[in-house]
Amino acid sequence: MGEVDPAFVQADEHRPKLKPVEVVDEIPVIDLSDILNPTHKNTQQVISDVGRACETWGFFQVVNHGVPVELRRRVEAAAKKFFDGPLEEKRKVKRDEVNAMGYYESEHTKNVRDWKEVFDFLVQDPTQMPASHEPDDKELRILTNQWPLFPDDFREACEEYAREVEKLAYKLLELISLSLGVPANRLNGYFKDQTSLLRLNHYPQCPFPHLALGVGRHKDAGALTVLAQDDVGGLEVRRKSDGEWIPVTPTPDAYIINVGDLFQVWSNDKYESVEHRVVVNSTKERFSIPFFFFPSHNTIVKPLEELVNEQSPAKYREYNWGKFFVTRNRSDFKKRDVENIQIYHFRV
């Protein structure tokens, strides 16, 4: 990660408070074994638990989820080998403004708050995206993955893992849809040509953990995120009831799920996309693997018509997912000093 730029340790509102937060409750842990069992004995209870978690926290953990543990371990090992490798090798697959897939390392400047390095790859390769964020621009561009030559099994492990987590994401999409009172497959069609991506995160030891964050406070733009984190922990969720930052206790082999902006719009604000962040550690490095479940680029996002009526009118204007994503990605890449596009810009 290099030497620490003095500008990096200047104070800003994104840095964690020194005062620890007393945890009085934690995000729910939901067992999916009944859902994956053909008998489906307690399906309705699981749906109810998922809906309550989405409404109360915007986050929950799942266990007995069906993703092979040995495959997850294989990807974690491959990721560690990659991030431990020479910087010049990692930079051979570095992302740029044209291709957002590949390796990225945080730069220590006053405008950067992240203390990490990442590797992104598309679940569907290649993937079509709008060429620009301009509303009238119909041109598309093709995004493709960049794969390093080392370690040898890196690509194979990542692609196999992505297919398994994708299955879980679809199951969660259906459960959340059912919890909203719409058919299980109501949203599946939006993901036929998905723009989903999977990210490998490495948070090195940080000499100034009280002055930096692994990831600053943010909300996820997509439908939902399926996160694997190691036993080091570091993820914190902003509790809706009082605004306090609550650490998510690592549960062995569980996945942490959160609904993103798309579900906030689809649900017409019944389910809120909640702020979260990652704190760094002075003695341990941390690895995490988020799967960002994104729909196709031509998806028009608006409140579901089944959830809109005279008593609960639509709270958002419709917007195009691809244009939204491209606008957000351009802003993230250039680290502009302007506000990033948010769904509240489309609020009625």
Q: pLDDT digit string (tens) for 17-73?
A: 434 444 457 899 999 998 877 666 678 999 999 999 999 999 999 999 999 999 999
Residue 342's CB: how many other CB atoms inside 10 A? 14
Tokens 């996309």: give the residue.
273
What's the pLDDT at 111? Answer: 41
- Give the tokens for residue 303: 């409140």
What's the pLDDT at 37? Answer: 72
**3 state SS of 83:** helix
Find all residues with CB under 8 Å of 264, minimum gap 6, and list them.
271, 272, 273, 343
Q: Any idea which of 164-168, 255-259, 337-341 has the lowest mean pLDDT? A: 337-341
Find all residues with CB under 8 Å of 53, minimum gap 6, and list them.
27, 28, 30, 59, 60
Give me the percent of the chain exceeding a pLDDT of 70.
87
Paired strand residues for 105 = 117
How many Å is the maximal CA-CA distance in the chain?
60
- Give the tokens for residue 102: 């590949």
CA angle 55, 227, 250 (to 5 degrees): 90
Q: Identify how many contiguous H helices and E strands the chain contains and give both numbers.
A: 7, 16
Tokens 């810009």: give the residue.
345
More confident of the two residues 306 and 107: 306
E-assigned strand segments in the chain: 29-31, 59-63, 102-105, 117-122, 127-130, 140-143, 197-203, 213-218, 224-229, 235-238, 245-247, 255-259, 276-279, 286-293, 300-301, 319-320
| Residue 1 banded pLDDT, cuts 50, 70, 90 | low
Cα atoms in the Cβ-side hemisphere of radius 13 Å centred on 109: 9
Find all residues with CB under 8 Å of 139, minimum gap 6, and list them.
130, 131, 132
Q: pLDDT digit string (tens) for 77-129?
A: 999 999 999 999 999 999 987 788 999 987 643 444 578 999 999 999 999 99
What's the pLDDT at 58? Answer: 97
Q: pLDDT digit string (tens) for 240-284?
A: 989 999 999 999 999 999 999 999 999 999 999 999 999 888 899
- Give the tokens for residue 15: 């840095």
What's the pLDDT at 39? Answer: 64
- Give the tokens for residue 106: 């945080």
| Residue 10 banded pLDDT, cuts 50, 70, 90 | very low
Find all residues with CB under 8 Å of 201, minimum gap 6, and list them.
116, 117, 118, 214, 286, 287, 288, 289, 290
Asked if 263 and 224 count as a contact pair (C-beta separation under 8 A), the reply is yes
pLDDT above 70 (res 289): yes
Phi, psi of 277 (to 5 degrees): -155, 175
Find all residues with CB under 8 Å of 22, minimum gap 6, and list them.
none
Q: Any idea which of 118-132, 179-193, 214-228, 327-341 has the lowest mean pLDDT? A: 327-341
Cα gap 203→276, rounded to integer Å: 16
For the domain spanning 41-124+134-346, the CATH number is 2.60.120.330
CA angle 74, 77, 81 (to 5 degrees): 140
Tokens 């341990």: give the residue.
284
- Give the tokens for residue 240: 């809706």
Residue 78's CB: how many other CB atoms inside 10 A? 22
Q: Calculate the average pLDDT of the chain.
A: 87
What's the pLDDT at 8? Answer: 40
Boundaries of every domain in the chain = 41-124+134-346
